Amino acid sequence: MHPITVTSPLLPELEKLREMMQDIWDKKWVTNLGEYHEQLEARLAQYLGVKYLSLYTNGTIPLISALQALDIREGEVITTPFSFVATSHAIWWNGLTPVFADVRESDGNLDPERIEAAITPRTRAILPVHVYGNPCDTEAIGAIALKHGLKVIYDAAHAFGVRVNGKSLLEEGDISTLSFHATKVFNTLEGGAIVCNSAEMKRKLDYLRNFGFEDEVTVVGPGINGKMDEVRAAVGLLNLQQVDRAIAARKSVAERYRKALRGIPGLRVLEDLPGVQHNYAYFPVFIDEKTYGRSRDEVYAAMKAQGVFGRRYFYPLISSFGPYAALPSASAENLPVAHKIAEQVLCLPMHHALSEEDVQRVLDCLTK
């Protein structure tokens, strides 16, 4: 059988993109905070319901820059092993030590009780992830941070547009970071952003992403090249126009998956949370081999043989990788829940352009 295909963008959108590319070429301003960059930054802040947003070239540089902007120069940062490896890499690149804490089985997010147990005199910050776009327990994490004088940086790569009781999830903590990679709900092909809580912090982040330049002749600190170019900003402006339709279509796919799989012994799906406006970035299924009769890896291989490509997000755990495996906090005994769900999870294909036939092909792999 042939792999699932995704339909091409609508012709009017392609024509508009061509016009924007021609405009960029005619103006001969392809990077360094051009017109499209400034438009996208302003429109994203408005759409997401936040005051201060800075665009970046990808989703990893914001994590690295956030730690720099908060002046976290030494010590430990408590984080999750159940994420994409960039979360911990950002800590390492800042010369800091990642300390892994276990997660909740219900959603894969950091367990606040395990966070507090991991705090030492060297702890400087907490770096949780809103896994699959499901909100962390921000109230509990905020209380822990306040009690121990810690900074909180949320890796919100999965959480574009997510709101809790009408409030943007991105406003939680000291800083939230976003990824606009091509696989995300909203993308600029490659890209990212930082959301912060003050004009002063945004100014600092804007310096950091541009080599530390304040003006043509003044460098205020050791920055990095984290700027987004005009071409990707143009793609982002077009995608922002259709992101609500994309999320609605993803919701329809998620509801169909959930209806078909809910109640099958050995399969666990995540339900929508009350008060949360979800973005349906992922659809994870957790497979209990003993009850279901097949292991996650057997299902994964069988699906792939049928041209259906799920992803084992997140397996292996970050704590299992070479740079981190020797850390005391990386031991399997310290992370029993994370190890359990990493062996069970399979994220099903999720995209706004999946057809009904595509969705049924995926379901057939799990139900027949």
* pLDDT band with cut points at 50, 70 and 90 for residue 266: very high
Per-residue pLDDT of 342-367, as tens digits, reads 999 999 999 999 999 999 999 999 99
Give tens-digit pLDDT for 195-251.
999 999 999 999 999 999 999 999 999 999 999 999 999 999 999 999 999 999 999
pLDDT tens figures, 139-196: 999 999 999 999 999 999 999 999 999 999 999 999 999 999 999 999 999 999 999 9
Weakest mean pLDDT among 10-19, 266-275, 278-287, 323-332: 10-19
Structure tokens of 254? 């998620």
Return the percentage of the chain with pLDDT > 90, whole number. Answer: 96
Q: What is the CATH number of domain 11-238?
A: 3.40.640.10
| pLDDT level of residue 1 (50, 70, 90 thresholds) | very low
pLDDT band at 6; cut points 50, 70, 90: very low
User: For the residues 271-275, what does the mean pLDDT come to?
Assistant: 97
Confidence band (pLDDT; 50, 70, 90) for 10?
Answer: low
Q: Indicate the pLDDT class of residue 14, thresholds 50, 70 and 90.
A: confident
Residue with tokens 């995704």: 6
What CATH number matches the domain at 243-367, 3.50.30.30, 3.40.50.2300, 3.90.1150.10, 3.40.50.300?
Answer: 3.90.1150.10
Q: What is the pLDDT of residue 234?
A: 97
**C-alpha span between 199 and 1 (Å, rounded):** 54
pLDDT for the residue numbered 63: 98
Strands 284-287 and 167-168: unpaired
- The residue ranges of every structural domain in the chain are 11-238, 243-367
* Confidence category of residue 368, pLDDT binned at 50, 70, 90: confident
b/e 40-60 (16+ beta carbons within 10 angstroms → b): bbeebbebbebebbbbbbbbb
| Helix 11-27 vs helix 230-261: crossing angle, to nearest 10 | 160
Residue 5 has pLDDT above 60, yes or no: no
pLDDT tens digits, residue range 284-303? 999 999 999 999 999 999 99
Q: What phi, psi does 277 have (nearest 5°)?
A: -90, 105
- Dihedral sign computed on CA atoms, order 282, 166, 128, 287: negative
Q: Work out the mean pLDDT of the chain and round it to a whole number.
A: 96
What is the sign, positive or negative, of the torsion defined by CA atoms of 331, 337, 341, 343?
positive
Please determine, for residue 3, whether its predicted confidence score (pLDDT) is greater than 60: no
Average pLDDT on 46-70 reads 98
Q: Alpha-carbon distance 97 to 49, whole Å?
A: 33
SS (H, E, C) 77-127: EEECCCCCCHHHHHHHHCCCEEEECCECCCCCCECHHHHHHHCCCCEEEEE
Mean pLDDT of all residues in 112-123: 98
Instruction: Indicate whether 4 pLDDT > 50.
Output: no
- pLDDT band at 16, cuts 50/70/90? very high
Spatial distance between the Cα atoms of 98 and 78, rounded to a whole number of angstroms: 6
pLDDT at residue 265 greater than cutoff 50: yes
Specify the pLDDT at position 13.
83
For the record, the structure tokens of 352 come out as: 């706004």
The confidence score (pLDDT) of residue 7 equals 44
Give the chain's end-to-end CA distance (angstroms, integer).
16
